[in-house]
Chain A
Amino acid sequence: MIRYILQRLLLLPFLLVAFSIVVFAIVQAPPGDFLTTYVATLASSGTSISAEHIAALRHEYGLDQPVVVQYLRWMQNLLSGNLGLSLEYQRPNAELIGEQLALTVVLALFAFVVTWIVAVPAGIYSATHQRSAFDYVFTVINYVGVATPNFLLALVLMWVAFAYFGIGITGLFSSEFVNVPWSLARVVDLLQHVWLPALVLGIAGTARLTRVMRANLLDELNKPYVMTARAKGLKEWRLVLRYPVRLAFNPLVSTIGWYLPQLFSGSLIVATVMNLPNIGPLLLRALINQDMYLAGAILLIYCFLTIIGTLISDILLAWLDPRIRMEN
């Protein structure tokens, strides 16, 4: 078990180096650099900037160096824990990302919890009450849930809330808590706001998990051991929860590996639509303005979160399933 985890952990740095190269190549790829965009923005607002000044700035940011040198300098900074300076905001990237990263993770984890709390009971009910009215209702909701893009659901909810109830449901905090330091009241306020975005973010996953849970449980319910237990007079709900549900659970745990990373990525779109203070909108802005070090840092963080998500699921699965644990 420990060897298995260590093996996975050893792979981590290699993956991160591979990703850092890919990420740098991508943020470096657009024609021109931050200064070209910057000059264009200035020109459109009517101010101009001298050629010498641009050259000086370019030298200062190291944008006149060959790509390889730029990459190595970036990596050097990263390894010493320095995420670099945002070209646009003129502030350290670490500071810009800081709190928003925590909110990204909180949102994804909330969505995850919502998903499981809804999906597992719904799946169990659907399987044990196959072809009942609720089973059909769940099935329809599942199909529509999978088919609805996140941002569309967010849009519809925001529109309904605004048009029929006259309230805005954007943001993660009430207006009086947006720019204040953390306190208990602020946490409570966050908890009041986070569940709706979490629901929007988790709906597609909930639908998928319910289907997986239902299908797995249906397979188990037809097996002879269930009939034996029933013949011995075990109470139905106790029987179902104690044996088949546990077996049907395993494949579900193995989905965490792709689901958790998907939540981190997916929160990007929901955050943009619902105006949440999350690293998603920050990334979008950085990409459009070619603020390459900020974009690079955020992309690497997404990669890191994805790898961690996969790692957690591998470990959980090995812990739950002896067949994987005993492989070595």
Chain B
Amino acid sequence: MVAATPVTSEAEERISVASNWTLVWWRFRKHRLALFSAAVLIGFYAVVLCPDFFSTQDPELTDARQAFIPVQGLHLLDDNGFNPWVPSVAGKRNPVTLRMEWTTDPERKVRAGFFVPGYSYRLFGLIQTKLHFVGAIDQGQRIFLLGSDRLGRDQWSRIMHATQTSMTIGLVAVTLSVILGVVLGGISGYFGGLADQVIQRMIELLQSVPTIPIWLALSAALPRDWTPQQVFFAITVILSLVGWTTLGREVRGRFLALREEDFVLAADLAGASQARIILRHMVPTFLSHIIATSSLAIPVMIISETSLSFLGLGIRPPAISWGVLLQEAQNIQTLALAPWLLTPGLLVIVAVLAFNLVGDGLRDASDPYSH
């Protein structure tokens, strides 16, 4: 220590005065992949905030004559520089199968643009507006950036709305399980005794439950006449019912260890109330750990919701989620005809991947012993 040069002591001082959160941020920043994933997630949640803005048309607009239109890829440049367009489609009925067969024609361009007027909606449920991120210049023209489904609904716009549902479910379900886990795990670890016994047995019972069959049975038990909002809330509760147990165990372990620490005794002697000791002194020491654990729990919730909805027991139409959209892809013959119906699956993978990478990055960053 004596031999420390002025330069290192300056750097050391920067570290020693930095708050815990600053230290976590510095370490997290070094993870390039985690940082990139965090940016991807921010993009996802921008869509969650206002899916209508990113849609090109009303997700419920059906037109049987425009079923299974193929992907009209968005091109940004044409011969004269920046000038967005999509190829037009032309349909012809196959005389044998009586099925419409669509061909895209890059020679005939449909003009598209950014920040163009389209259908009317309420931004954040408040401001009436017609502005959309992307769309056709000619408002009467429908463009299908990701094709259309069997009812002629626009896959792109439906995906935007599905993203809102699926990403929110993950977040809400994890929030619920964090609350349950911290409260019950905290009670269990801090007070011990009978409460600890009861809660520990409950966790053991819940953890030995076969999750997927029980989830299915619980979702099947939801009344058929519930509104989409009620179903949404019920599904999040069902998902978090099992999710909290892991966290509950960890929190209990932390409380058990911290209870004996000197700083807790000091706070107690200084006359701090129990609530203050728990919330002000104990919880902050493992808060970053909880955040890392829960960001790793969100992808599990998202996959579970998607699977439940795919089997027809989760979110139900008319509500839209990734799982509901993937139900359209259940039939292999349909899928061979319209492979773009699988695109929601790609989003599931990207979202889960991003959450896992951010979670890994956070876990490493919040661990003071990592290098």
Contact = CB atoms under 8 A, between A and B. Distances in A.
A287 B217 contact: yes
A155 B345 contact: yes
Contacts of A284: 216, 311, 313
Interface size classification for chain A: 35 or more
B216 A151 contact: no
B199 to A, nearest CB: 15
Nearest to B312: A288
B336 A307 contact: no
A162 B336 contact: yes
A149 interface: yes
B310 interface: yes
Interface size classification for chain B: 35 or more
Interface in B250-309: 299, 303, 306-307
B213 A299 contact: yes
Contacts of B213: 265, 268, 283, 298-299, 302
A37 B91 CA distance: 43
A17 to B, nearest CB: 11
A150 interface: yes
Contacts of B326: 151-152, 155
Interface stretch (B6-14, B109-117, B168-176, B349-357): B349-357
A180 interface: no
B332 A168 contact: yes
Contacts of B183: none
B311 A269 contact: yes
Interface string B323-340: 000100110110110010
A321 to B, nearest CB: 20
A217 interface: no
A56 interface: no
Interface stretch (B68-76, B130-138, B203-211): B203-211
A115 interface: no
A144 B349 contact: yes
Contacts of B299: 147
B167 interface: no
A299 B217 contact: yes
Contacts of A23: 217
B151 interface: no
Q: Give the dominant DSSP class at A's interface.
A: helix
Contacts of B313: 284, 287
A26 B219 CA distance: 10
A265 B217 CA distance: 12
Given A306-B209, A306-B210, A288 B303 contact: no
Q: Which of B205, B220, B312, B353 has the most CB of A within 10 A?
A: B220
Q: Which of B212, B217, B299 has the most CB of A within 10 A?
A: B217
Nearest to B221: A29
A269 B212 contact: yes
Contacts of A150: 307
Contacts of A310: 208
A152 B345 contact: yes
A121 interface: no
A65 to B, nearest CB: 20
A244 interface: no
Interface string A141-174: 0011011111110011011001100001000000
B5 to A, nearest CB: 31
B24 interface: no
B342 interface: yes
B307 A265 contact: no
B218 interface: yes
A266 B208 CA distance: 15
B206 to A, nearest CB: 10
B95 interface: no
B332 A264 contact: no
Interface in A1-56: 15, 18-19, 22-23, 26-27, 29-31
A27 B303 contact: no
A309 B214 CA distance: 17
B151 to A, nearest CB: 20
A18 B205 CA distance: 8
Interface of B: 205, 208-214, 216-218, 220-223, 299, 303, 306-307, 310-313, 326, 329-330, 332-333, 335-336, 339, 342, 345, 348-349, 352-353, 356-357
21 contacts: A18-B205, A22-B214, A26-B221, A143-B353, A143-B356, A146-B356, A147-B348, A148-B348, A148-B349, A152-B306, A152-B349, A156-B345, A159-B332, A159-B335, A162-B332, A261-B210, A269-B310, A287-B216, A302-B213, A305-B210, A306-B210
Interface of A: 15, 18-19, 22-23, 26-27, 29-31, 143-144, 146-152, 155-156, 158-159, 162-163, 168, 261-262, 264-266, 268-269, 272-273, 283-284, 287-288, 295, 298-299, 302-303, 305-307, 310
